[in-house]
Amino acid sequence: MLHQSDIHELKRIANQIRQDIIQELVHAGSGHSAGPLGMADIFTALYFQVLKHKPKKPEWADRDRLVLSNGHICPVQYATLARAGYFLAKELNTLRKLGSRLQGHPHRTSLPGIETTSGPLGSGLSQAIGMALGARMNHKKTRIICLMSDGEHQEGQTWEAIMFANKYHLDNLVAVIDRNNIQIDGFTEDVMPLEPLKKKYNSFGWHVIEIDGHNLQQIIDAFHKARKVTKKPTVIIAHTTPGKGVSFMENNPEWHGKPPTPEQAIIALKELTQEQQILEEEN
C-alpha cells in the first residue's frame, strides 16, 4: 500500500502529463486526444512505480519492456517518457512535425524508451508474446507489459495471440486493456460488441483483473498481483474515461481522433491547471 503522499505525487505527475498532451496536440494540429488523456494515470503508475527501467540507460538488458499496441495514443507515451527523464520535455512540441523524433505513431529507433514500432491495430500483443517467449528462453526475469485498446479486440489476430499466450503459459506477460468504450466510429458496443470481455479472457485461460483505470492504488496493486500469477498470462481490464480531465472531451467519441483548436486548448489547460492547484493545496 502506497503512502498517501506518494499517491498525491503520482496524481500531480499524471496531471502534468495531461497538460503536456494538450500542448503536444495543439502544436501538432493533428492527433488523438481522448485515448492519451484517459491513459495518463496508467502510464504514470508504470513509469514512476511499476516498471524496472533506467531512463539514462534505455537499452539496459534487464529492463522491463512496454509494448504500446494502440500506437495512436503515443502523445501520452511521449509525455511520460519526457517526464521520466528519457529526453527533454521541450521536444514534445515537435509532435508530428517533419523531421521530428515524435512521429504520429511510435517508431522503435526514433526515441529512447520506444520498444516497438506500432500503428496497425491488433499486432501489439503478438509482438509482446515474442518478447515474453524470448525472455523465457534466455532465462531472463524481464516482464513484458502490452498496452492495448478495447477496439483492437475486434481484430482476429488479437484472439490468435490470446490463445498462443495461454498455450505457452506466459506468466511474464501482462496485457492492459484501455476499456474506454470508444473508437473512431463511435461506441465499441455499437460498432462491434466486446462484452463479456472478462469471461472471454477467462475462457481463453488468462488470469483477469478488473480495475478503475484512474485509481492509482488499484493500478499499482494490479501489477503487483500479476507478478504472483504463475503458469498463465494476466490481463488487466482498466475501465477508463476517454478525455479524462477535460470536461468537454470526456466520454465523447468525437475526440477519439482529433486535437483541440488553440481556443479549446486554452479551456482544457485551464481546467487541468485548476486541478493541479487543488492538488498543490491538498499537499
Cβ atoms of 27 and 19 closer than 8 Å: no
Predicted pLDDT at 3? 87
Query: How many other CB atoms sit within 10 Å of the CB of residue 151?
Result: 23
State the CATH class of domain 4-282. Answer: alpha beta
Residues 227-269 pLDDT 10s: 999 999 999 999 999 999 999 999 999 999 999 999 999 999 9
Which CA distances in Å does 66 have to 87, 109, 117, 148, 250?
A: 17, 15, 12, 11, 26
| DSSP per-residue codes, 208-272 | EEEEETT-HHHHHHHHHHHHT--SS-EEEEEE--TTTT-TTTTT-GGGSS-PPPHHHHHHHHHHH
- Which residue, among 70, 24, 73, 81, has the nearest Cα to 47 in the 3D structure? 81
What integer pLDDT is reported at residue 1 of this predicted model?
76
* Boundaries of every domain in the chain: 4-282
| pLDDT at residue number 282 | 80
Q: What is residue 279's predicted lDDT score, i.e. its pLDDT?
A: 86
Among 131, 101, 102, CA closest to 21: 102
Q: What is the pLDDT of residue 2?
A: 84
Below-70 pLDDT ranges, the chain: none
